[in-house]
Amino acid sequence: MSWILLVVSGVLEAVWATALERSEGFSRLVPSIVFAVSLTASMAGLAFALRELPVGTAYAVWVGIGATLTAGYAMFTGAEPVTVVRVLLILGIVGCVAGLKIAS
């Protein structure tokens, strides 16, 4: 259950990171609310997952999921360029996160 909660929290990290950018310095209401709610839920999920998972592994997986999804979404929407190097580096993050899960 902790791993599922950690993955959901990682997804929410991508949500709050994207909402933070779209809030334009907290000047837009809806993205600012999405940021606050998803940040709170993401941190709470990480905190609960840490009850059973080692902090180093859990934090690396949480950040890896969030970074991968945030960068992938930005490339998908055209906000950032899609290049072979970027895709390979993101796949490297995914591989490292999977390796941490397997190793623990």
pLDDT band with cut points at 50, 70 and 90 for residue 4 = very high
Considering only CA atoms, which of 5, 9, 21, 3 is closest in space to residue 71? 21
74 closest CA partner among 19, 8, 10, 7: 19
Quick one: CA dihedral 51, 56, 90, 44, positive or negative? positive
pLDDT given for residue 100 in this prediction: 82
pLDDT digits (tens, 9 = 90+) for 45-99: 999 999 999 999 999 999 999 999 999 999 999 999 999 999 999 999 999 988 8
Q: Identify the burial level of 10 via C-beta atoms within 10 angstroms of its C-beta, where 0-12 means exposed, 13-18 middle and 19 or more buried.
A: buried
Domain ranges of the chain: 2-103
What are the CA-CA distances from residue 86 to residues 2, 46, 50, 62, 97 (Å)? 30, 27, 30, 20, 17
pLDDT for res 103: 84
21-39 average pLDDT score: 98
Mean pLDDT over residues 16-26, rounded?
97
For position 101, what pLDDT does the model report? 80
pLDDT on residue 102: 86
Question: pTM of this prediction?
Answer: 0.90
Q: Assign 28 a pLDDT band (cuts: 50, 70, 90).
A: very high
